[in-house]
């Protein structure tokens, strides 16, 4: 009997390749999202420092120019934070799409692998039956030959 050959093996390999590409793209999107989140944290830290400086300047130094410069800096940070917030939302959307595609491909791959396992089990059963049939034929011929000689 022939060796087991899964009839849609090329399709399985194709889906595995697509899954690997989707995994790469999902990780890339996650990296992009994390970089925007770290940028957001940096801006938050700068904002806290600027507010602390503003409160210290107001208490210790009465230099209006420094206060105005710091307020301008704070407004600039707020604008940057708005832009980064938009980028974070965009990156999250892209990440969710890539992750969904990855999950779909993993599910599809799992189904095909289960189908392959079932096909292999069926092949093993057929092979076992075929082997048993050959063994039975050989035994019946041996016994048939002995019975003919004894008559």
pLDDT tens for each residue of 48-72: 998 888 888 767 766 778 888 888 9
Residues with pLDDT less than 50, the chain: 148, 151
pLDDT of residue 61: 67
At 7, list the tokens.
């009839």
CATH number of 9-116: 1.10.287.1700
- What angle, 0 to 180 degrees and rounded to 10, lies between the N-to-C axes of helices 9-60 and 64-150? 160
3-state secondary structure of 50: helix
pLDDT of residue 147: 54
| Tokens 């999107």, residue located | 29
In sequence order, which residues have a C-beta less than 8 Å from that of residue 81 and are 6 or more positions away? 40, 43, 44, 47
In sequence order, which residues have a C-beta less than 8 Å from that of residue 97 and are 6 or more positions away? none
């Amino acid at each position: 009997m022939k060796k087991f050959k899964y009839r849609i093996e090329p399709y399985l390999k194709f889906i595995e390749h697509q899954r690997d590409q989707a995994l790469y793209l999902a990780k890339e999107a996650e990296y992009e999202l994390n970089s925007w989140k770290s940028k957001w944290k940096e801006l938050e830290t700068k904002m806290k420092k600027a507010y602390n400086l503003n409160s210290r300047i107001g208490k210790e130094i009465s230099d209006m120019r420094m206060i105005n410069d710091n307020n301008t800096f704070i407004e600039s940070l707020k604008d940057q934070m708005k832009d980064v917030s938009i980028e974070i939302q965009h990156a999250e959307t892209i990440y969710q799409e890539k992750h969904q595609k990855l999950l779909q491909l993993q599910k599809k791959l799992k189904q095909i692998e289960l189908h392959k396992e079932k096909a292999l089990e069926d092949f093993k059963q057929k092979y076992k039956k075929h082997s048993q049939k050959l063994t039975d034929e050989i035994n019946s011929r041996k016994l048939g030959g002995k019975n003919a000689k004894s008559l």
